[in-house]
Structure formats: structure tokens, C-alpha cells
Amino acid sequence: MRLPRLAATLAALLVLAAVGASAAAAATVTRTVPGEYVFAYGQRPDAPGNCSAIIFAQWADVPGTIAATANYTSLSNGSWGERSETREAPFDDTYTWVATYTAPPGTHWIAIGKGWSAGPRPNDCSAMSERQRALYRTPVTIELTIQEPPACVAANASIAKLARRTATLQKQLARASGKRKRSLSRKLAGAKRDLARAQAAAGQHCP
């Protein structure tokens, strides 16, 4: 009777460990970075009378980013207001609307506004793009959701464990005396060294 019960307990513990590992691997952090507006325009290749003018929020690449929200101020329906647009990776780095637009290497885009024109005469929508500039105010900021790499998750878990150990040893040391105090002092010094190494690892591996 004991063996089936023990097997069930071990299986439950393995499931919990797997869930915990999965949650750790999926850890994310948020970071806000500066952005800028890009006012782009272009013609439809097979119909030079058709064109578009797109406004993008642009930011520099941050490795591990899985989603981003552009926060900006624009004029709409006669009033200024704060607005936002959210995209998941790969964002709007390649964006097709009448013409095709591609973000420069090392950057990402979120489309936040657009216009278009169609007619018999060639038009590249450059004049429209110039008018769009008056409809947007700086600054534009980008809130990033960044996937923490496994090495970062492990380093943070080690920091938390070592910080608890260091705090426990400090309390024990405060109450100790004689040989026990000297022993605890050596253990505390070792724990502090381990904590410093874990913090250095986090600085190296965490975004």
C-alpha cells in the first residue's frame, strides 16, 4: 500500500517541479525606452498614381523583446490626446499598405498612422507625409516586454536563495558567541561572496 502512495507523491512533486521550471523559463520584464517618429511614403510599384504615407514609431533593438507598446501624442478629430499601439514580435518591421516599408537593421517599427491616395497621375505621397508631421508631438516612448533568458532566471533564483541564507546567517551571528560565532562569521563571508558572484552573473545574463 505504501509503494503506490509514494509513487503518487513523487509524481505530484515532479509535476510541480515541471510547472515551476516552465514558469521560470517564461519570466518576463518590462522596460521603457525612447522612440522616434518615422514619416515614410511610397508608391505602389504597378500603379504609380497610388501611394501611401505611413507613420511609424521606431526604437533600437533590445534582444529578447517579445512585445512592445508605442505611447505617443497625436491630433485626432480636432483634439490632442495620448494614444498607444501594441504589437508582438516581429512588429511592423515589414509593412505593406499600397507600398512596402522595411525597418532599418537594428530597429523595429510599430505603425501608428497612415494615409493613402489614388489617381491617374504619378504621386509618391510625399506632400501628405509632410502634412502628417504636424499631427504628432514628441516624445514617443516604447514599453518593451522582454523574455528573460534561462541563465538570467537561474541567476535571479540563486540571488534570492543566497540573500535569504545571508540574512539568516546574520541573525544567527548576532546571537552567537565563541567558536560558534567564528564559524558563523566564516559561513557568512562565504555566503556574501557567493551572493556577489550570483549578482555578477545576473548583470551579465539579464536584459
Three-state secondary-structure class, residue 35: coil
Answer yes or no: are the C-beta atoms of 50 and 122 closer than 8 Å.
no
Take residue 111 and report the three cell numbers written for it.
505603425
Q: What is the rounded CA–CA span in Å between residue 88 and residue 68?
A: 6
Return the pLDDT at 20: 40
Q: Note the pTM of the prediction, 2 decimals.
A: 0.66
**pLDDT given at position 21:** 42
| C-alpha closest to that of 87 among 55, 62, 61, 111 | 111
Neighbours of 183 (CB within 10 A): 13
Please compute, for residue 176, the number of CA atoms within 13 A of its CA located in the half-sphere on the CB side: 17
- The pLDDT score that the predictor gives to residue 124 is 95
pLDDT of residue 207: 65
Within its chain, how far is the Cα of 15 from the centroid? 29
User: What confidence score (pLDDT) does residue 173 get?
Assistant: 84
Q: What is the per-residue pLDDT for 26?
A: 53
pLDDT beneath 70, residues of the chain:
1-26, 207
In this prediction, residue 162 carries a pLDDT of 86
Which stretches does DSSP call E strand in 2-106?
28-34, 36-44, 47-60, 65-76, 79-88, 94-97, 99-102
